[in-house]
Amino acid sequence: MVYPQGNQSFDEIVADSKKPTIYVTSNWYTRYTNMLEGEFSSIPRDGMFLIEDGEIKKPVRKLRIADNLLRMSKNISAIGSDRKQIRWWEVNTPTFIPTIKVVDCNITAATQ
């Protein structure tokens, strides 16, 4: 899938986030539970932050994204103008991707 560069800056996307929103900077250990249907589970890595009332408030920990790529693609509410090259050790081809805001993403917390 190719995501074109959007028309909002990262700061504008954050400012438009009035409801509690989780900003995920990187994913790690993404595994598909059903590749045909796009079901996956992923552990965010390096940084997650709570956005409230349009401001980054504090870091958060111990969350997992467990969702469906097709559903998430339909729930994109903003695409940033900040397209960057992302390279990861387990992916041979670097990806160019902007900030993407997805509404109603399924995020779960670790049990205690």
Beta bridge partners of 23: 49
Contacts of 89 (CB under 8 A, 6+ apart): none
- Per-residue confidence band for 7, with pLDDT thresholds at 50, 70 and 90: very high
104: left (phi over 0), alpha (psi -120 to 50) or beta: left
Q: Residue 50's pLDDT is what?
A: 96
Name the residue among 80, 79, 81, 77 with its Cα closest to residue 18.
77
Residues in the chain: 112
Q: Tens of pLDDT along 24-47?
A: 998 878 899 999 999 999 988 778
Q: Residue 3's pLDDT is what?
A: 75
Please state, rounded to an integer, the average pLDDT across all residues of the chain.
90
Task: Indicate the burial class of 38 (C-beta count within 10 angstroms; 0-12, 13-18, 19 or more).
Answer: middle
Higher pLDDT, 57 or 112: 57
Domain ranges for the chain, please list them: 10-109
Percent of the chain at pLDDT exceeding 90: 65
